[in-house]
Chain A
Amino acid sequence: DADVTQTPRNRITKTGKRIMLECSQTKGHDRMYWYRQDPGLGLRLIYYSFDVKDINKGEISDGYSVSRQAQAKFSLSLESAIPNQTALYFCATSDPGTSGPPWGEQFFGPGTRLTVL
């Protein structure tokens, strides 16, 4: 079974709809991240959480919100989706406290492809 799972894998929605993307992990890691990937722009960090009580904005948090429901679960919400939020979204985890080197290694889910019409 995959260590980091994302649901749904694909989603098509309309402008103005509320969307939630979910991420679950069985790695026991404290740190979780949400990224979006756009062609030619690479990966950009949206939000990250270093433990259940910690939430931090990343490079491009406007229009997004997150919830860390448990150590294993980190959800990303688009309150009112717009077309320029069409992208591939990745969840990742890390745990520098327990991982050997390289301690910054992140483990990625398979991604959610979101299309906003």
Chain B
Amino acid sequence: GEDVEQSLFLSVREGDSSVINCTYTDSSSTYLYWYKQEPGAGLQLLTYIFSNMDMKQDQRLTVLLNKKDKHLSLRIADTQTGDSAIYFCAEIPPSGYSTLTFGKGTMLLVSP
């Protein structure tokens, strides 16, 4: 079955770059997503990448997709204390009747 793996914790200093990694198993996934959960809140979609893309950049965020290795990464440039949150990787197969499969989440702690 589908599985999505992430490391559980990352600590960086303010101003550094953060890289959060994810591996997935379903090679038919259409979209791959990064959700952000701030303390005390629900998840919000941060960014996504379509499966036929290798890279997507959105301001400070860069998403890299390696389909051969089924590896997805999220790079946050110039990380700020406000970026401290839990980041979830998620995938969805192309069937219209599928649901998202989430990873366990990576807690990013940004220290001043």
Q: Interface on A for B, CB 8 Å cutoff? A: 4, 33, 40-43, 45, 48, 50, 58, 90, 92, 96, 101-106, 108-111
Q: Interface on B for A, CB 8 Å cutoff? A: 8, 30-31, 33, 40-45, 48, 50, 88, 90, 92, 96-100, 102-105
**B88 → A minimal CB distance (Å):** 7
Closest chain A residue to B97, Cβ basis: A50
Which residues of A are found within 8 Å of B30, using beta-carbon distances? Answer: 104
CB pair B42 A43 closer than 8 Å: no
Q: A42-B102, A48-B99, A58-B99 are contacts. A104–B41 as well, Cβ < 8 Å?
A: no
A-B contact pairs, 17 of them (CB 8 A): A41-B104, A42-B103, A42-B105, A43-B43, A50-B97, A90-B43, A92-B43, A101-B31, A101-B48, A104-B30, A104-B33, A104-B90, A104-B92, A104-B100, A108-B43, A109-B42, A110-B41
Complex alpha-carbon distance, A107 and B88, angstroms: 14
Closest chain B residue to A94, Cβ basis: B100
Complex alpha-carbon distance, A34 and B42, angstroms: 12
**B3 → A minimal CB distance (Å):** 11
Which residues of A are found within 8 Å of B92, using beta-carbon distances? Answer: 104
CB pair B88 A105 closer than 8 Å: no
CB pair B48 A108 closer than 8 Å: no
CB pair A101 B50 closer than 8 Å: yes
Which residues of A are found within 8 Å of B50, using beta-carbon distances? Answer: 101-102
Given contacts A92-B43, A101-B31, 15 further A-B contacts (CB under 8 A): A40-B104, A42-B102, A42-B104, A43-B43, A43-B88, A90-B42, A104-B31, A104-B33, A104-B90, A104-B92, A106-B45, A108-B42, A108-B44, A110-B42, A111-B41
